[in-house]
Amino acid sequence: MSEKIKVAVLISGNGTNLQALIDACIAPNYPAEIVLVISNKANAKGIERAQKAGIKTRIIDHTNYRSREEFDCKLSIILSNSECKLVCLAGFMRILSESFVNTWPNSILNIHPSLLPSFPGTKTHERALEAGVKFSGCTLHFVTAELDAGPIIGQAAVPVLDNDTPKTLANRVLIEEHKLYALGLELVANKILKNKEADLHREQSTVSKSLINF
Ligand code: GAR
């Protein structure tokens, strides 16, 4: 079996995006594997999905921590212990502190239910309908300290229909989120594997050059 990038997924609720990633990871040549699912909510349905797939789960209830930093610090320790290389936020409804984000540079992915930079934050579908946009969609991006503003990995657009409610629009967008997340994670994981391979070749050629010079 070829090498796979270890991924942790952070959730707070239903976990349909998590399910899309679990399903994608089943393909033998998919370059990532989920090693841990963490929820900040004990009753998150996504935890059941992970358990059903035989993935290790942890509940870290943020209400048990005195500050955001303390919670994030615990999170970071658990993630480090899991040896994951990427952290996928999939409906994780917590803002991460700057120090957490800086501990995991270029390693945290987030799916957001709008075409960023439009409608960052919450209540995206309500705001999209209020604004009268004719297209909405979703964005997969790297997480930086600024909310919903990191480098974009990919986007998918859907039409907004005249009779849409926040719920009908959310459902249409969610279908695209699932495809985009699986594809985007594949791209990012493949890039990491390629860079690793290039590093290895560089190391090997340095070793052979020094042997020639010896
Ligand atoms: C998804 O629509 C995701 O984009 C959104 O929460 C939903 C989670 O659904 N995330 C955010 O709004 C983050 N700011 P899921 O639990 O079924 O994957």
Give me the domains of the chain, ranges plus CATH numbers. Answer: 5-213 (3.40.50.170)
Do the Cβ atoms of 96 and 108 come closer than 8 Å? Answer: yes
Task: Please report which helix (H) or strand (E) contains residue 5, including its range.
Answer: strand 5-11
Q: What is the pLDDT of residue 211?
A: 66
Q: What is the pLDDT of residue 194?
A: 95
Q: What is the pTM for the complete model shown?
A: 0.94
Kindly give, in sequence order, each residue whose CB lies less than 8 Å from that of residue 64, ignoring residues fewer than 6 positions away: none
Compute, in angstroms, the gap from residue 16 CA to the centroid of ligand 1. Answer: 8
Compute, in angstroms, the gap from residue 73 CA to the centroid of ligand 1. Answer: 23
Ligand 1 in contact with 91 (CB < 6 A)? yes
Residue closest by Cα to atom 16 of ligand 1: 15
Q: Which amino acid is at 110?
A: N
DSSP 97: P
Cα gap 60→75, rounded to integer Å = 8
What pairing do the DSSP bridges indicate for beta strands 57-59 and 135-142? Answer: unpaired
Q: What is the pLDDT of residue 148?
A: 96
Report the nearest atom of ligand 1 relative to the CA of 17. 18
Q: Is 201 a catalytic residue?
A: no
Q: Over its length of 214 residues, how does the chain's per-residue pLDDT go in tens digits?
A: 589 999 999 999 999 999 999 999 999 999 999 999 999 999 999 999 999 999 999 999 999 999 999 999 999 999 999 999 999 999 999 999 999 999 999 999 999 999 999 999 999 999 999 999 999 999 999 999 999 999 999 999 999 999 999 999 999 999 999 999 999 999 999 999 999 888 888 888 877 777 666 6
Do the Cβ atoms of 114 and 128 come closer than 8 Å? Answer: yes
Cα gap 189→7, rounded to integer Å = 9
Cα gap 174→19, rounded to integer Å = 12
Cα gap 21→15, rounded to integer Å = 10
